[in-house]
Structure 1
């Protein structure tokens, strides 16, 4: 099969993107959980890595800042909803920014020009084998309602993905900043972005590692 000039250029760009963005992440990082002020949630860990708060309601709201592995440098996104007393998520929802197509071409083009975006769940987001880092924040009802309203507004206004500016780190960082958190630079690998985000807003002594 022969490729025209445009097809050959696309292959070259794809090869460049893949060769420069191969996964160089660390092994999966421990799960961390805190309350919205960045201090350890008063809880006891069960064997599955869940958390049971003394005297807490059976269901609590949370948002989890998360990264996952991918063939390239990975993806940053949030998971939010309710969890039971054992820390198991109940019908979680996923939000993040990514190219709308699963084809490689829009992803490669998006490193140079904006491409249509999706702001919902993408393949592998809720699979533990792909999770590379996470920071779960337990929220009050008011805190949860506020951040979900912000996410909905952000989803309605986000139409394009562009790797260097409108990328997944920046999109999730906007949510974190709305919650009053400090955020790292948006050009980090997703695992490092989530790790730095947690470290900037908690300390190892005040956040809970599963």
Structure 2
């Protein structure tokens, strides 16, 4: 059966999506921390003044993984205090909605998913320390994004795209959304920290 003119773009999109899923994740990558300007904190005073954070993360999963953010406050040792999670994923835990979401949009959830805060599943992360004002602005944007993000579709608006929207709001450059989550987070950090 020959494809009509309208089928060619679909084939190209599917080829890009499938090729992006063919690479392998690496072993877990180190945790990186930066200040709000994308640089490593330079002194103890700066570390103490920035008690708020956002962490761009990826984790392993049965599929190609998941990208999301964790945000909140830290204690004096840098440990998270009551962290919150935001990400975009199919709303149903049923694998069928995930598969269908590779072809048509499916209902999405924008909060935590199973494994997001479990250390053994983290594949890459980049923590950015924020001032009070930076944190308030970022959280307000995350809340607006959560309120308007109702659909997940693997090739159009996926977990990488959701996190990229947050990063762009903060003034960061972002990689393409068709990378594996571990590659996406690693590239995001590298693009913004030199």
| TM-score under structure 1 length normalisation | 0.80
> What is the CA–CA distance in structure 1 between the aligned matches of 2:47 and 2:122, rounded to whole Å?
27
Query: Is residue 99–residue 106 contact of structure 1 (8 Å, CA) maintained in 2?
Result: yes
CA distance in 2 between partners of 1:42 and 1:147 (Å): 22
Match of 1:78 in 2: 69
Aligned residues: 177
Q: 1:26 maps to what in 2?
A: 26
User: Using a 3 Å threshold, how does the CA distance of structure 1 residues 77 and 55 change in structure 2: closer, same or farther?
Assistant: closer
Gaps of 5+ in 1: 1-16, 44-52, 204-210
Counterpart position of 1:35:
35
Shift of the alpha carbon at 1:54? 3.8
The within-5 A match list for 1:1-210 is 21=21, 24-43=24-43, 53-54=44-45, 56-57=47-48, 60-203=51-194
Return the alpha-carbon distance in structure 2 between the equivalents of residues 83 and 163 of structure 1.
Answer: 33
Given that 1:68 and 1:131 are in contact with CA atoms closer than 8 Å, whether structure 2 keeps it comes out as yes
Q: In structure 2, the residue corresponding to 1:126 is in which secondary structure?
A: coil
More helix by share: 2
Alpha-carbon spacing, 1:185–1:120, altered in 2? closer, same or farther (3 Å):
same
Secondary structure of the structure 1 residue equivalent to 2:178: coil
C-alpha contact 2:52 2:129 (8 A) present in aligned 1: yes
Shift of 1:85: 1.1
The question of whether the paired residues in 1 share the 8 Å contact of 2:49 and 2:131 is answered with: no
The alignment yields a C-alpha RMSD, in angstroms, of 2.0
Residue ranges of structure 2 left out of the alignment (5+ in a row): 1-16
**Partners of 2:189 and 2:39 in 1: CA distance:** 11
Deviates more, 1:160-169 or 1:55-64: 55-64
CA–CA distance in structure 2, aligned partners of residues 167 and 189 of structure 1: 11
